[in-house]
Structure formats: C-alpha cells, structure tokens
Chains A and B, each alone.
Chain A
Amino acid sequence: MNPTRKRRLSIVISIVAATTVAVSLTVFALQRNMSYLFTPSQVQEGQATQYPTFRLGGMVKSGSIQRAADSLKVSFIVVDDGGAMPVEYTGILPDLFRDNQSVIATGRMADGRFIASEVLAKHDENYMPKELKDAMAKAHDKRHIEAPADKDAAK
C-alpha cells in the first residue's frame, strides 16, 4: 500500500471505530434510562412486571391522601379508567398535588404497592407526556374528574 492509501485506510478505520463506540454508548445509555409509563389498570394486568422501575400515571383518588403523623411519608391511591394503585412516597409533593389531580410517579413495585421516588403533578417543571393526557381522557369521560388537558394546564 502506498502512503496515501495507508493514511486513508487509517482514517476510515478510526471513523468506523469512533462511530461504533458512539452508537453503542448511546444505545447503552438509552436502554438504561428509558422509562415506560403505565396506568394502574395496565400494571394490574401485569404489563409492567418486566420493568424494575417505571412511571405510574393517573389521577389522585379523592380523599385518599394520608400523611404519617411524624414524618414526610404520604400515601395515596392513583386511579385510572379501571384500576387503582396504592402509592407511597416520602418527601415534598409538588405545588399542584391534590385530590383529582393527574400525576406521574416514578418508582418500583413492592408488596402490591408502588414506592415512588419522584412525584410530578401536571404542568410541573418537569415534562408531562402527551400520552398521559390520552390515557386520562378516557377516565375523564367516565368519572367527570379534572383532566390534564384543561385550560389551566394548556397555559
């Protein structure tokens, strides 16, 4: 091989190597940090069993919020069209958290309860996926509860 070809070959090889590394790292990072959203009924159907952590989206059941007497522990029930899931969380809830509010909790299942590490309420500082609105639209029709797509949220 002449020097020009040799140089070109090494450039091509390094580009291929760099691309491979970049793509595999990206895929790795994506896989580790992708998180799926399920509604309580989907969780009860067993759709979420293969995911150690996932996001649970639904509406806070009216009157279900209970606080511990001596800590920041709070438990509430998240409902959707046909399911209900008890949720436990320790920490400060978002400003917009209240009864009949649509929320997304991130966490894992333990003993039939969802242990949340993070709770977001609608139009919170973090992003609220459109898919929850779609999922909640059904619940809204049936139960006449506040849907995430109302005027307040649209702002």
Chain B
Amino acid sequence: MIPELGQFALILALLLALAQGVLPIVGAWRGNGALMAVARPAAAGQAVFVFGAMAILIHAFLAFDFSVAYVADNSNLALPWYYRITAVWGAHEGSMLLWVFILNVWSLALAAFSRHLPEPFVSRVLGVLGLIGVGFLAFILFTSNPFLRELPMPADGGDLNPVLQDPGMTFHPPVLYMGYVGFSVAFAFSIAALLGGELEQAWVRWARPWTNIAWAFLTMGIVAGSWWAYAELGWGGWWFWDPVENASFMPWLVGVALIHAQAVTEKRGSLPAWTVLLSLFAFSLSLLGTFLVRSGVLTSVHAFASDPRRGLYILGFLIVVIGGSLLLYAIRAPKVATGKPFAALSRETGIMVANLLFTTAAAMVLLGTLFPLIGDAFNLGRVSVGPPYFGFLFVLLMAPAVLLLPFGPYLRWGHAEGRHLTAMALRAGVAAIVCAIAAMWFVDGKLRAIAGVAGAVWVGAGTLAYVVKRWREMPAGRRYPAEMAGMLVAHAGIAIFLIGVMLSESLSTERDVRLAPGQTETVGRLQFRFEGVRETAGPNWQADEGVVVVLRDGDTIATLHPQKRTYSRGQVQSESSIDPGLFRDIYVALGEPMDAAHAEGAWAVRLYHKPFVRWIWLGGLFMMLGGFLAAGERRFRAKKAPAAAVAKESVA
C-alpha cells in the first residue's frame, strides 16, 4: 500500500506543477494578482508531495520491499542500510526522482528568498520552474516509475552496481544534480526576463547569486566524481573524457562563461542578449547531460537505462525546451537594451575573450562526445573519439585563458590603462620564470611540469599581487567585497589545479608488475614489498586482500591493503588502497592472481606514485568556494542598487 501512496504523491505533484506552471504566468501576463499568488503555494505543495514520494521510496529500500521492482533490481538483503539509501539514485528511475526532488529544493528556496523581487517577475520564474517540473514528473510517471510493482514478489533482490558502493557515490549524484538543476533557475530568470520584456537589467543582478551557487555545486559534484573515479575505478586516473564526464563538464564550461557574462551585464548593461543566450545553453546542456547519461544512447558505466521510449521522450522534451526558448529569444532579444560602450582594452573585452574560449571549449567537447552518434547516423562507420582529441584541443583553448587570467582584475570597466597591466605582467612574469627555473632541479627537466609550475605561479602571483594592491589602496572593510573575494579565491583555485594536473601528469610513476609473496619492487625511491593476500569479508562481499608494505630508504612508511572484492551477486570489483599526502599519493591496486586457482601465489599489482595529485581536487574545491563566496555579495540582495554604488564599482 505504501508504494501506491508514493505514486499518488507524484500524480498530485504533477497536477500542482501544472498549476504552478500555467496560472502564475497567465497572471503575470494579465496583471491578475490572484493568479500570481498561486505560484508560491503551488510550489510549496508540489515540494511536499515530491519530498513525500522520495521519503516513501527511501522507506521501501530500508524496509526491503522487493515487491517494488526498482527496489528489487537495485538492492538485496545483504546490502548495508547506507548503500540502500544511496541505491535510491543508483539507477535510472530513482535518479529522475532525485532530479525532481532537487528541482523542488531550488523552487522552494526561490519562493522563500524572492520576497524583495517584483511579484510578476517571481511569478514568471516560478512558473517556468513549474513547467520544467511538469516535464520531469510526466516523464517519471509515464516512462520511469520507481514505484512499479513486481509480482510475485522475489525473495531477495539483485544488487546495486558494486562500483557505486562507495562513500564517494553517496553524495556525488545529489551534489552534481544540485548544479545541473540549479541552472534551471538561471534559465527561468532569463525566460522570465524575455517574457516580461524587462528593459532594465535588474533581473541579472537577481539571477547572479543563484547562478553562482548552482555553478559551485556543479563544481563540487564534478570534483567528487573525479575523486570517486580515482579512488574507486582502480586505474588511478582522475579524468577519462568519458561521455558521462563530458556531460557534466559542458554545462560547467558554459557556466563559467555565464557567471562572468552576468557580471558584465549586471554592472555595465552590456552583452545582455549574450548572457540570456548563455543561460539557455547552460540549462540545455544540463538537460542534454541527463539525456546522454540516462537514455542509453551512449552506453557507458552510467547508462543504466536502455529503453528507447525514454530516450524519445527526453529528445522531445529537449526539442521543446531548447527550440521554444530559442524561439522566444529570437523574438524578444532584439528589443533588449544595449549597455554602455567599451574600449578594446577593457574588462568587458577581457571577459568576452574568456567567454569565447570557454564556449568554444564546450562546443569542442560537445562535438567529440556526439561524434560517435553523428558517425552512426550518417553511416561513417563505428567511430569513437579518443581522449587525445579532447586533451589536445582543451589545452590549446585553455592556454590563452590561463595567460590572460591574471590581467582580469586589473582591467577597468569601460576603458583600461595599460600601465597597471604591464606592471603586473612584469612581476608575475618574473616570479613565474624564477619558479620555473627553480623547478627544473626537482622535475628532471620534464617540460610539462615546468610549464605547469610557470603557469600556476603566473596565475597565483598575478592574483596575489591584486590582493596586495587592494589591501594597500582600499580602506579596511571595503577591500574585499564578497564578490571580489570569491573571484580571487576561484582564480587561486586555478593556480592550484594547474599544479596538480601538470605535476601529477608528468611526474607520476605507474608500474604494473607481477609480484610473488615476499617479492619487492622498486618505484623511484620507494620499495613495495608484497606480502601475499589473505581472505576478508564485508557485509555483502568477500575479498582477497593484499598486504603491501611501502618502504623508503628502508623505513616503513605505509602498509596498504588493496582488495579484490566479489559481491554477493558475483560481480568483481577492485578496491584500491591509497596512502594520501598533500605532496604525493601512494596508490596500490590488485589486478588478478596469475593463476586463478592459486590466490596465495603471484598477483598482478598496480603500484603508483602520484605527486601533487590531490591539488587537482583542492583546486576544484577552491573554485567551488569562490562560487559560494561570490553568491554572498550584499549588493545581490538589494532590490535596487544605489546609483552611487554602480558608479563606484565601475572604476574599482
């Protein structure tokens, strides 16, 4: 009976979403206050029922209700309770419910924190979110119902994919979805502005904190996913250019462009049409990401669903959302006012160039990701695009971005002076060259590592120089407004990220070896002594657990226990063992026994030494922090920025 309640809750949520999607927009159009007043209660009602449905599905998992097909497919009696909760989003149906759940979290937040905005505008924004909710709730109810019964009820269920049974997986999908779905708020703001023909640019200021928060969550989700791939997949890689990773990376790249374009439009009124277009793209790519990952068009580890009906629905939904919003854009955008003029050397130009680089990068990733589909559709053969395509073009596009980045804060709005720029370039350039020369001694002349150090110091020193400049020139309390602090922290994150990527990519030692018990393998200055395997077991798995002692100069520095697990349903999964450190990770994973019948004999073992690999995620966390910080800017919360403040910002 309880699962049926979940079903009813979803149906009621759909009806309320319909009310939320239609009535307030009509009300805003007709100037009818009663209809506009429907928006908030309808959003709250929809949220109550969606949260209820989510709670019921979680309950079904916790109570082992195998009469629910989704529960039976993705959990079993041996699965520990915490993985039974994460199993809720371990496959297609639950992921879609999670999507709607998070959409409602955003809608609720918007309903609560939008009291200072004009009523017709908020009604339109909540209306657009309601329509998106309609699309997804109908999708769940008609094609991917998680509450579907399976009779007769099986005695025990299947299993959650073992690669998903990892602490990293518990929060990677919800956080990633917070980002994906968060772009729907930026999208809703843009559509609302287009619908209302908002002539003043105030709406961009209202949209900025939401966009920044969404982008920060997306950053966190991607960092968590990358960390999970590193720790769980047993290859020691942190990015594979897998279609599923690309699906989250494309909206991120466009999101970077969007949060910068929004700053231009908010402060100077310039590029408003471009900002609107970017927010349409960011959300469209989020939807496309859902489509790519969930439709089974591109089969990969994440493609749990392979039902063409679902793919067709999402495709139709995508066409309606992208086509409809672009049509609206084409009709309305020409009427949008243009802002103040700017010179060739100005912050506007700098942000425009960065915008072009980031959107081109997103287009490049899109092309590479969809190319196998294009090839398939036009019978070009069974083609796949290798990671070097992405690596080559991405580095090519991002190198100028890194080079230009430290100039950003020094560029004035409207018209910049070259004097400050050359002074900064001189300091940061000298610092970068000195550090690069110093680094040569430590990296055996590896070019990529030296370039990484130079790039990171260039960005880091340039950013630091600006921090010092503000400290000297501004009175206390006005030195680092939240928005600027966020920008500086995120830019520092790029320096950290560069160190992590370039040093770990060029200095890592990766050795796959055959080791008999008692045998020692030397990797650089480290010795790895394999002491054989022993048997161990967990709640729903048994494993061969290797014991690897790591020594440096004869001293034991770590004892690692990589595992080869066999889960209760027979799936095999390697569990790597990592000795973490700020400056290096030691990473050991078990391959397979050389003789399957003799686990006590020799094994294939992966031994990795990865310097600075943690800086990759540390840099990502800095960028995330920057996004959250910037969202806290006081100016965003004001209904109307005082004219004086705008004027002051323009010279800051």
| Residue from B383, B595, B606 with most neighbouring chain A CB atoms (10 Å) | B383
B384 is contacted by which of A26, A34, A38 (Cβ under 8 Å)? Answer: A34
Residue B388 CB within 8 A of the other chain? yes
A19 (CB) vs chain B CBs: closest residue: B360
- Which parts of B376-406 form the interface with A (CB within 8 Å)? 376, 381-389, 392-393, 396
- Given contacts A71-B514, A155-B91, is CB(A30)–CB(B371) below 8 Å? yes
Q: Are A36 and B242 in contact (CB under 8 A)?
A: no
Q: Are A37 and B382 in contact (CB under 8 A)?
A: yes
Q: Are A154 and B304 in contact (CB under 8 A)?
A: yes
Question: Could you tell me the distance in whole angstroms from the C-beta of A124 to the nearest C-beta in chain B?
Answer: 7
B306 (CB) vs chain A CBs: closest residue: A154
Q: Are B514 and A70 in contact (CB under 8 A)?
A: yes
Q: Are A129 and B372 in contact (CB under 8 A)?
A: yes
Residue A67 CB within 8 A of the other chain? yes
B246 (CB) vs chain A CBs: closest residue: A127
Q: Are A123 and B301 in contact (CB under 8 A)?
A: yes
Q: Are A30 and B301 in contact (CB under 8 A)?
A: no
Complex Cα distance, B368 from A129, in Å, reads 14
A22 is contacted by which of B240, B360, B382 (Cβ under 8 Å)? Answer: B360
Residue B274 CB within 8 A of the other chain? no
- Given contacts A26-B364, A26-B367, is CB(A127)–CB(B304) below 8 Å? no
Q: Are B594 and A92 in contact (CB under 8 A)?
A: no
- Given contacts A33-B389, A92-B606, is CB(A127)–CB(B300) below 8 Å? yes
Could you say which interface size class chain A belongs to? 35 or more
- Which parts of B348-379 form the interface with A (CB within 8 Å)? 360, 364, 367-368, 371-372, 376
Q: Are A127 and B242 in contact (CB under 8 A)?
A: yes
Q: Are B591 and A93 in contact (CB under 8 A)?
A: yes
Cβ contacts under 8 Å, A32 to chain B: 388-389
A129 is contacted by which of B382, B387, B393, B594 (Cβ under 8 Å)? Answer: B382
A131 is contacted by which of B91, B158, B382, B574 (Cβ under 8 Å)? Answer: B382
Q: Are A33 and B604 in contact (CB under 8 A)?
A: no
A21 (CB) vs chain B CBs: closest residue: B396
Cβ contacts under 8 Å, B240 to chain A: 125-126
A36 is contacted by which of B368, B383, B387, B396 (Cβ under 8 Å)? Answer: B383
Q: Are B301 and A36 in contact (CB under 8 A)?
A: no
Question: Could you tell me the distance in whole angstroms from the C-beta of A106 to the nearest C-beta in chain B?
Answer: 8
- Given contacts A22-B360, A95-B573, is CB(A133)–CB(B299) below 8 Å? yes
Complex Cα distance, B244 from A33, in Å, reads 19
Residue A143 CB within 8 A of the other chain? no
- Given contacts A92-B606, A93-B591, A125-B235, is CB(A29)–CB(B383) below 8 Å? no
Q: Are B571 and A152 in contact (CB under 8 A)?
A: yes
Cβ contacts under 8 Å, B386 to chain A: 33-35
Cβ contacts under 8 Å, A131 to chain B: 376, 382
A29 is contacted by which of B243, B376, B382, B392 (Cβ under 8 Å)? Answer: B392
Cβ contacts under 8 Å, A128 to chain B: 299-300
A155 (CB) vs chain B CBs: closest residue: B161
Q: Are B392 and A92 in contact (CB under 8 A)?
A: no
Residue B456 CB within 8 A of the other chain? no
Q: Are B396 and A25 in contact (CB under 8 A)?
A: yes
Cβ contacts under 8 Å, B298 to chain A: 127, 130
Q: Are B161 and A30 in contact (CB under 8 A)?
A: no
- Which parts of A82-139 form the interface with B (CB within 8 Å)? 91-93, 95-97, 123-133
Question: Could you tell me the distance in whole angstroms from the C-beta of A38 to the nearest C-beta in chain B?
Answer: 8
Complex Cα distance, B234 from A92, in Å, reads 11
- Given contacts A37-B382, A95-B574, is CB(A126)–CB(B300) below 8 Å? yes
Question: Could you tell me the distance in whole angstroms from the C-beta of A52 to the nearest C-beta in chain B?
Answer: 13
Residue A55 CB within 8 A of the other chain? yes
Question: Could you tell me the distance in whole angstroms from the C-beta of A65 to the nearest C-beta in chain B?
Answer: 9
Residue A149 CB within 8 A of the other chain? yes
Cβ contacts under 8 Å, B234 to chain A: 95
Cβ contacts under 8 Å, A126 to chain B: 240, 242, 300
B237 (CB) vs chain A CBs: closest residue: A125
Complex Cα distance, B603 from A93, in Å, reads 12
Q: Interface code B501-526, partner A: CB below 8 Å = 1, 0 otherwise?
A: 00000000000111000000000000
A154 (CB) vs chain B CBs: closest residue: B306
Cβ contacts under 8 Å, B382 to chain A: 36-38, 129, 131-132
Binding site for A on B (CB under 8 A): 73-74, 91, 158, 161, 163, 229, 233-235, 240, 242-244, 296-301, 304, 306, 360, 364, 367-368, 371-372, 376, 381-389, 392-393, 396, 512-514, 564, 571-574, 591-592, 594-595, 604, 606
6 nearest A-B pairs in the assembled complex, by CB-CB distance: A92-B591, A127-B300, A33-B389, A37-B382, A33-B386, A131-B382
List 20 interface pairs A-B (beta carbons < 8 Å), by A numbering: A26-B364, A30-B389, A34-B383, A35-B383, A35-B385, A55-B384, A91-B604, A92-B512, A95-B564, A123-B301, A125-B240, A125-B301, A127-B301, A129-B372, A130-B376, A132-B382, A133-B299, A155-B91, A155-B161, A155-B304
